[in-house]
Structure 1
């Protein structure tokens, strides 16, 4: 009983530590659709080579898929890019020659070294030559991140307890001029949706607002089967408690067997009576 009480005490403590954001906070994490909005061309970030990356310098050429998240994200961000890459591999058009991808980190503490590692990972997964010039992984200052997030309607929150971000998931497709053409929500993307979205964006078309199936990147999500900090902590504690219970059970069984053996020997000795020494 004491072990059970200790277990739940630890779980409650971890829950308090890993759930700094309240349900009210999380309700403000949304992806508002600003279809037709012009992204500020003057916004400047830094790319994976640590060079200034002015968004406007990359407008006017090709449609752009904008992916917002953060590179050290333990949750959906990797799934978003994995889902995007799988969809892109089914398209005849290629990154670099037909369109661009811009990944932007919402974490101002992330550096270009992390961005470089992620870009290499994405390019290796994508596997098509010539994509490096059209795939950009950016980091930036807080003011640039906040303005871009505000323009695309990307509402996120930072959890100081877990040092993670609660944020929505999805893609933003921009026209070559940098206007928002449409949104694609989720983590698994269909090439039959991504392809036409790029074609429409290239023509400068903006689709109407679509109903969104918002997937929140924070703690556990039953759709993706991913676990967040709270659930992982509970599972770790449960695992440790199970191991300790098994060890305690083994020790108890061994002790019981030893006691049983001692009782049997004692009974046998009593039945035989005291040892009698024969006369010489």
Structure 2
């Protein structure tokens, strides 16, 4: 309608057209400014290729590394956090708005479903990847994700310096890349299960954990020092599938071995009966 008046002429119509053109140009300019440019490009493929968890043979966390306990705001070490127990270590970005929150909540739920006692049978530890995140950021993440009230599966959140975090992640083969353009960190969605001595026992997916598998993994990492006789028997007939990151029953393998043993037994029995028959005839 306004454009029709402008086309019919008149100063008001041309002024309206000019104003509309100026606003449209400003809007397009603003949208162009929001578009990513080469100077503001995000992480490239070469950077993302370094985001992985690949523990070297015999990988072991340095338990003497010094951190700050976010709740008590005091100095501590990984050895003190472990307390001689297997550790579910979850590297996170305390200011992450993507996958860190569900990783934390799902890990806590899986730990609760194990039936094991926190602080006695295992330790649950978070380590902040971004040294710019202080203790307050860690407490805020815990409160927003798990609630403000203390719970048995509330993890011990640790904050460390750039060098401390680099020393820990380097020893574990945990690769992450900061993205300065988005003020975020590209990191694997992975939890690392440590033995009481700090040795890497398993790399687990916190997004696919369940109580039974995590219980078996913790008992195995603790070298059978926790759990029941039934758990230890289950470890004998369960195997860890590295492809899926969970324990799966080795039913097919057990059936194959049992079937082969049965066939061999039958063959030996037939052979013995045949020999006995020949002896009687002679």
Give yes or no for the alignment of 1:90 onto 2:122.
no
Compared CA separation, residues 195 and 122, structure 1 to 2 (3 A): farther
Compared CA separation, residues 104 and 31, structure 1 to 2 (3 A): same
Q: How many residues align?
A: 208
Unaligned regions of 5+ residues in structure 2, if any?
1-20, 226-238, 246-282
Greater shift in the superposed pair: 53-62 or 178-187: 53-62
- Aligned residue for 2:74? 51
Cα deviation for residue 131 of structure 1 reads 4.7
- Aligned residue for 1:195? 215
Which residue of the other structure, out of 78, 81, 87, is the alignment partner of 2:104? 81
Distance 2:207 2:40 in 1: 24
- Aligned residue for 2:44? 22
Asked whether the 8 Å contact 2:107–2:206 carries over to 1, the reply is no
Cα deviation for residue 86 of structure 1 reads 2.2
Which residue of the other structure, out of 136, 147, 170, is the alignment partner of 1:113? 136
Higher relative contact order (CA 8 A, sep 6+): 1
Give yes or no for the alignment of 1:142 onto 2:162.
yes
- Aligned residue for 1:152? 172
Cα deviation for residue 29 of structure 1 reads 1.2
Which residue of the other structure, out of 10, 21, 31, is the alignment partner of 2:53? 31
Unaligned regions of 5+ residues in structure 1, if any?
214-280
Cα deviation for residue 30 of structure 1 reads 1.1
| TM-score for both structures, normalised by structure 2 | 0.64
- Aligned residue for 1:168? 188
Compared CA separation, residues 186 and 95, structure 1 to 2 (3 A): closer
Cα deviation for residue 83 of structure 1 reads 1.6
Compared CA separation, residues 92 and 31, structure 1 to 2 (3 A): same
Cα deviation for residue 68 of structure 1 reads 0.2
| TM-score for both structures, normalised by structure 1 | 0.64
Compared CA separation, residues 122 and 75, structure 1 to 2 (3 A): closer
- Aligned residue for 1:210? 242
Asked whether the 8 Å contact 2:68–2:158 carries over to 1, the reply is yes
Distance 1:125 1:87 in 2: 19
Asked whether the 8 Å contact 1:123–1:131 carries over to 2, the reply is no
Which residue of the other structure, out of 152, 158, 179, is the alignment partner of 2:199? 179
Greater shift in the superposed pair: 161-170 or 92-101: 92-101
